[in-house]
Structure 1
Amino acid sequence: MSVIGRLHRVGLALTRRIEELYAESGLSEPEFDLMATLRRSGPPYERAAGELAEHTMVTTGGLTKRVDRLVARGLLERTTGTDDARRRMVRLTPSGFGVIDRAYAAHMANERYLVDLLSPTDASRLEAILRRWQSALATD
């Protein structure tokens, strides 16, 4: 219980700090994930809706709701594919690009801060332990 309980509490504390940071940018965690996926895709910062659903691991219905909220806020836009007008694309707007760039920079600084609460040796050991544990759980 001590390992799982502590791991659970640490996970909740990390999630809370990460979500608070996203909220400062006006984003939820799923919205950040969606916009970061588009940002990582490179110019023109767009993907087909189906690809976004796969990359963000949500249903197409869940994705549609997130996209609708971000379109209403002017952070995303829907377009049609250049090679197929039936293909629906989702793209960052210039405003959305700015929001996700600032949010991503803050997120990376926050992650660095959180990891730096550990010594470099402890962080390295923990990463190796978690990698092995994750691998063992994946085989069950």
Structure 2
Amino acid sequence: MSQGQHDDVDGVVAAWRRERPDLDVAPLEVLSRVSRLARHLDIARRQAFAEQGLESWEFDVLSALRRSGEPYQMTPGELLRQTLVTSGTMTNRLDRLADRSLVTRQASPTDRRAVIVTLTPQGRQVVDEAMESLLVGEREMLAALGAADRADLAGHLKRLLVAFEG
């Protein structure tokens, strides 16, 4: 951290060091900041999605379809794995997205028991605009870091995340 700059975590860490000098509270210096940044990111993402009339969960489903590439189709099971929700939750989400004409569902041409979810042109436009808005906000959040610092931070965070998801 730059000399002379302080954030709320500095106060929390200093207080714990004062009250419990026997504890190594160094992890708080990293993970409390990650936690606070995650809250700020969540707020910024909600705002970006709200500009397009989307909830975060709607963006998750639509963006999974969009990232799948032409013809922007997935099965509900594939969407479950992408968004980490239960089958019942996914069914409810797909119902709501279909009601808004952002996705369609039809029987698979190769297996009548299977369903194919397709991103509609309207859904594609909405998710593309939400993604553009999201990236503007995320660039602003990272503006305090230069390109090299962003790359270093991304690498460090990736190593931590791989340790959990590995």
Which interval holds the TM-score relative to the shorter structure?
0.7 to 0.9
Alignment of 1:14-33 (within 5 A): 14-33=41-60
RMSD: 1.7
Larger radius of gyration: 2
CA deviations on 1:57-113 (whole Å, 9 max, x unpaired) are: 111111111111111111111111111222111111221121112112222333233
What is the CA-CA distance between 1:2 and the residue it aligns to?
2.9
Aligned to 1:104: 131
Q: What stretches of structure 1 move > 6 A for 4+ residues in a row?
A: none
1:42 aligned to 2:73? no
1:91 aligned to 2:111? no
Structure number with the bigger relative contact order (C-alpha 8 A, sep ≥ 6) is 1
How many residues are treated as equivalent by the alignment? 139
- Structure 1 vs Structure 2: percent identity of aligned residues? 37
User: TM-score, normalised on structure 1?
Assistant: 0.88
What is the CA-CA distance between 1:4 and the residue it aligns to?
2.2
1:73 aligned to 2:103? no
Q: Distance in 2 between matches of 1:89 and 1:138?
A: 28
Q: Distance in 2 between matches of 1:137 and 1:85?
A: 38
CA deviations on 1:13-64 (whole Å, 9 max, x unpaired) are: 1111111111111111121011011112222211111111112111111111
Q: Distance in 2 between matches of 1:65 and 1:100?
A: 19
Q: Distance in 2 between matches of 1:38 and 1:91?
A: 7
